[in-house]
Amino acid sequence: MRKVMLILPAVALSVLASTGVAQAEQAPGCAGTVQIGSTGYIKKGSTVIASVKQFKGCGKNWAYTYVWDSYAAQPGGYSSSAAMVVNGDRDFNSNVNGRNKQDVWSKPTATLTKCTRAYGEVWGDGNVYWGQTDERC
Please list the pLDDT of the chain residue by residue as tens digits (137 residues). Answer: 444 444 434 433 333 334 444 445 899 999 999 999 999 999 999 999 999 999 999 999 999 999 999 999 999 999 999 999 999 999 999 999 999 999 999 999 999 999 999 999 999 889 999 999 999 99
pTM over 0.85: no
State the chain's maximal CA–CA distance in angstroms.
Answer: 58
Q: Report the alpha-carbon distance of residue 6 to residue 36 in Å, rounded.
A: 36
> Which residues sit opposite 108 in a β-bridge?
none
Phi, psi of 91 (to 5 degrees): -90, 95
Phi, psi of 114 (to 5 degrees): -115, 170
